[in-house]
Structure 1
Amino acid sequence: MAYKTCVSIAEKTPKKLKQTLAKALKKSDYAEIRFDFLNPNAVPEALHLIRKDLGRCVSTLRPIREGGKFSGNEKNRISIIKLIAEYDPFLLDIEYNTLRKNRNLQRYLKNTDTSLLVSWHNFKQTPTVTVLKKKLLEMKKFSNNIKIVTMARSVNDGSRILSLYNNSKNVKLIAFSMGNFGKMSRLLCLLLGSPYTYVSLGKPIAPGQFSLDEVKSIFTGRK
């Protein structure tokens, strides 16, 4: 089957980021740049160094409250997000809760025609199907590119998150569960219509994440 991968990259310096990105894009369709792992002052340099590859990159600046590493104030984070948007990445990942509370940012992204990936994470559990469906509908107001990720505490949790694909008409949905119980949902989502799945080059960046070589081996029988 045809499948696509997105390597999550969480480097701490612009130089190392550029090196790892080059390595990732030789083997993967896309890469996710976790800009929140960088010192905020280093983001402009990083953007300049990787500008030619951003057309294949999902760009993320995740705050601590959303499971990321960015510890600065929200005003500064929004300024950096706007800077990233100016480089026109493949997708700019912004949390649903951030967009919901910031109309100024909504207008800016609309005016700049930024390709937006609206994301929502629950690191504690997987809500009911009713709650998940409602969340999906709310997120569709901002973009047709949607990412919903939850923590699986049982096999049923993984099945529940995947049931969202029954309601994903006209939406590019990336939905799966974290943790050991949700690990297979990272693969099954590809069979159900996810545009890609997140992988690592080695050590997982998120709970239950497969490496790029593991996914290639599973789907093609070779690394």
Structure 2
Amino acid sequence: MMSKVAVSIAPKSPSECRAGMAAVAGRAGFVEVRLDAMERIDPDALRHAPLPVIATCRPMREGGRFGGPERERLDILRCASQWAAYVDIEWDTADRFESARARTLVSRHWFDHMPDLHQEYRRLRRRGDAVKLAAPARTAEDAAHVLDVLAAATSPLIAIGMGDAGRHARLAALALPHCLATYVALKRGQETAPGQPSLDDVLELS
């Protein structure tokens, strides 16, 4: 189960990035590094990572912190792809991105409603090596919809119901065969998204 856990960190500096990755090593299958959180973005901080990295540089339009030119953001991700296992690339720029080595995780986020995730998965599954879908889960029905699409998937998928109602689904997803990963915080209070459980929450289940 722990091989599907991705600890999400949002370091402010390269040294904080390396310390965060070291803290996760041996405790999870992946570490997601939010490069957009860095005050001075340095993809070279991923070099010699002690576990597989999901490199993310989320633009503001998708809920992230990167506000620079799109060309610069794609250059950052291309550089990161030399050392990452996966590069998270947004659905509307996936066709413009060429990875140096890493696999591509084509992602799309919604913040105001829960879409038909089955339909969105079918749209995106051939555009990258894996798909990530994240939307607000406000009800038990929303959370069940997230698990339904994960159960029906035929290729690697990350599906997230953001918010407290989706918290259980994040953990239950670990048992589904095509769930690539579920995101957790290194510690309580260090969440990078609403409803994100902590690494300790997962360890208590294992």
TM-score by length of 2: 0.90
The counterpart of 1:65, out of the listed 26, 51, 61, is: 61
- The partner residue of 1:207 within 180, 194, 199 is 194
Structure number with bigger Rg: 1
Aligned to 1:114: 102
Q: CA deviation at 1:36?
A: 0.3
Identity in percent: 31
3-state SS in 2 of match to 1:97: coil
Superposed displacement of residue 196, structure 1: 2.3
Instruction: Count the aligned residue pairs.
Output: 203
Q: 1:124 to 1:54 in 2, by over 3 A?
A: farther
The change in CA–CA distance for 1:113 and 1:54 in structure 2 (over 3 A counts) is same
Whether the 8 Å CA contact 1:3–1:190 is kept in 2: the answer is no
How big is each residue's C-alpha offset from its partner over 1:89-138, in whole Å with a ceiling of 9 and x where there is no partner? 11101111222xxx442xx23xx4530111111122212xxx32221111
Residue 92 of structure 1 corresponds to: 87
Deviation string, structure 1 residues 195-223 (Cα, Å, up to 9, x no partner): 32111111211100111011100x22xxx
Structure 1 equivalent of residue 148 of structure 2 = 163
> 5 Å matches for 1:126-145?
126-127=114-115, 131-145=116-130
Q: Is the 8 A contact 1:148 1:176 kept in 2?
A: yes
Separation in structure 1 between the aligned mates of residue 2 and residue 45 of structure 2, nearest angstrom: 31
Corresponding residue for 2:160?
A: 176
Give the TM-score of the pair, scaled to structure 1.
0.84
User: How far does residue 2 in structure 1 lie from its aligned partner after superposition?
Assistant: 6.3
Amino acid at match of 1:67: G
Tell me how far 1:49 sits from its aligned partner: 3.6
Residues 21, 51 of structure 2: 8 Å contact kept: no
Task: Choose which of 131, 146, 150 in structure 1 pairs with 2:135.
Answer: 150
Contact 2:157 2:180 (8 Å CA) reproduced: yes
For the residues of structure 2 that align with 1:91 and 1:144, how far apart are their CA atoms? Answer: 9
The structure with more helix, counted as a fraction of residues: 1
**Corresponding position of 2:169:** 185
For 2:113, what is the secondary structure of its paired residue? coil
Partners of 1:15 and 1:158 in 2: CA distance:
37
1:29 match: 29
RMSD over aligned Cα atoms? 1.8
What is the CA–CA distance in structure 2 between the aligned matches of 1:93 and 1:60, rounded to whole Å? 5
In structure 1, give the amino acid aligned to 2:120: K
Unaligned runs of 5+ in 1: none
Q: 5+ residue gaps in structure 2?
A: none
